[in-house]
Structure 1
């Protein structure tokens, strides 16, 4: 509901009579609260504001804010607690558990699907369809989301934990928590999970015994809910961690900085803040999103770019405030920030061509990283060393949707091949006496085509010279002298900003010698722009003098090497 920015209609202090009525409503809505807990939740003397707003879908919502944090919200005369309230009263609602990786999908607006649940040994809490429930992460009892059960617990178990489980209303890190108008943007407290004892076979108090078919150390979890806020397709994850293994996961134990890093906490947080900022601009923010609220950039983009096991907290950085950090980024001419309305800052422009940090991984490096990851996390099958067990991270990265529940292990060669196929290709071009140039995508070879024009005249067309640092106009001038034929430069069909050189007659042989450096001395004396390629072992395929659509392909005026790797923003 609060995945996107909302519009505030009014913000007023609550009256004494309304405060008493709110206490009565809280007592009715949450009977498990004790008499001393209700006055603590709705204090008598502290400032309490009533904020009326419209969600991005037009729903009219009333939010009660105490001490700067939203504590309750009312929708269609139903009262709901926020995550801030549940952190103080974690047992206020029946709580279900999911994996930490699922949270970012919920923040984006997706509903929680039943395969995403973690079934504890004590079984699932007993709820009915339409009951209000809390969602917590493995290893921490502090709720991070609130939703309405789409079916009863008995129906969940009968369906073998398939289908939509909860319609989400509010999540940690949504706009209700991280907007400029509400929320102190604090992190969830670390609350130890309750003891997970198996239920008594003769008693069922507040929980339902899980179906033995659903228990075990290997579970698949899927988040198939359609992203309501962004209109994206289904998102899935599959894993095979037991509850005890997951609770020992470093990403679950605590969202702390790297203890092996000798830098101070502020220095680590500054680096993490800049990393998430650049990654958000590179991978999530589009030109069509501008102007973009700075609060939206932080809540909807930067938090989701935070690496697993780390927690982005602007207050722990040297900037203390997001506005100061963005001012620094504006001074570096990466973005332009303006106050489009009073007190509301927005990013109105981004220099997409600004040089940013990045690195490239070669295939051998990728293989080393995957092998080390599998060994570090004990994913190598104990019975067959040639097989690797797939944890939620690997499952989410390499499996197709129809494999999420069926593929639990993969051979080493298949795992490495799939990982390499998912990576973005890049190539590096090295010019003599210059720094190498790295570009994303696959390098396009120089294309030489022998075509036929009017009156049965032959012409030779050369394309893709720019990828190798060659000026088509300079090349055309050299070829005009070398071939003693007329040349012309024109836009290349189907290539944005690309040019092609057209030479009269069949000049494939001359081009082959010139581009491959067979006549190095003569070519260099005529044009220093064309370096020798005597080291290049790949030769051009001769066009054979055929009149139409014959091609010969060159593989570099400069030394070009392809990399299949990740470009890090």
Structure 2
């Protein structure tokens, strides 16, 4: 639930009556807590904040925060403890154990699957479906995730430990954990460390089956032996990507050296490649006029284009795992850049130290070694943007399937309008349905009656004009659209394509701002468009995440700038006018008095 950044709606101090109610709710949710422990969690004289947030999918969640650490979160009127509480009181929830590599998947938003559960000698904890439970890793009983049981313990055993075990809501290292002091789990030895029943390590992410997880048994040990303590406890050092590469026999990224003992590990090689692309991008790609620059844009448009031929840049296979952590290291350890969160959840590079000794001494590789990637221009650059080709298509609906069966087109088949016309024409001719007296009409047979006519027309309509026949057929099909970007595979989606939406809103003191959204649908980078507009109108611009929308950003620029936005989108980017909404809101010329 908190794998992606959330939006804070309000942050207020709790009232006295609400404090008492919270204590009662915690006592009901965690009955094993004593009165003293409750008083430690909800002290009477210390400030306790109530923070209301919206998760990335739009869920309204209430957080209870003490000493800057979220202690509980309330979802749909149910209270759940965070890992910060469970590290202090690890025994308040029934816990399921798993192997350390599975933690990486839980952090990414995956649920815990039963084949990845390690069954202790005393058996599974007794839970019912929907009960709140925790997840721990082998050799450390400090919980790393909180969720609800997908099925009861009895059903887990009867299913031979197959299927979903725990629906994870919150985990160590997710965005709710990052809302606190970002401390790590304590090392709490397990009382039961023998007789572990090992299951397979399969798990699913977002409801889709993933590849089988790595075995956490030492390859040189016997089947009854567990992994050495060092391998199981070092959650930070054990890389899921390394384990998968070892299982599949993949070669280490980069050039192989003659002596394998001297060869670098995959993480070290990827770290070196990451640093090389980073320095190369700063030295030869980034210009001062581009700052502030979205970190995601910097990675996509600059770092990837600096990757040497034959190599693939993959941050997940580095020791940093995330771009934000890598850039933080570049800022703190190397003093190369300064990164700042200009909007909630949106980080940008705001400053580059061009005089840095490491950057100045870096030698840019030859152009022949670099894979040149197409870079979108910011309205003023050399490489022109080419708009996508957008076409409306139609998919066969269940009602119209009998009409398309002769052409072997079943429901769900996507067709161009011309193909629909040809298939309907062929059907009419094959069944001799053209009216003998008037060739402009088509006789309605039982199939056409069921597919195209309304119930009230069954006894009255005996024939239709050709144009009416085609229009009724298309109207009863499911409309789709296809977007083809130059040099890329077509993207097909159901429904209508969202237009680029331009609007003007009022902010404090009746100041006007122009809002632009849905740029990503047309292959436009919001950061690049914002920079281009900022140069054209000499006004400030900011990027804001859109609540409830995945990977979409709203561009906000100061003032009523619809005419300038119109020129940029229509003239420079050449987006067809029919795909832009809000141009009519521009002020009319000659109406000022």
TM-score (norm 1): 0.46
TM-score (norm 2): 0.44
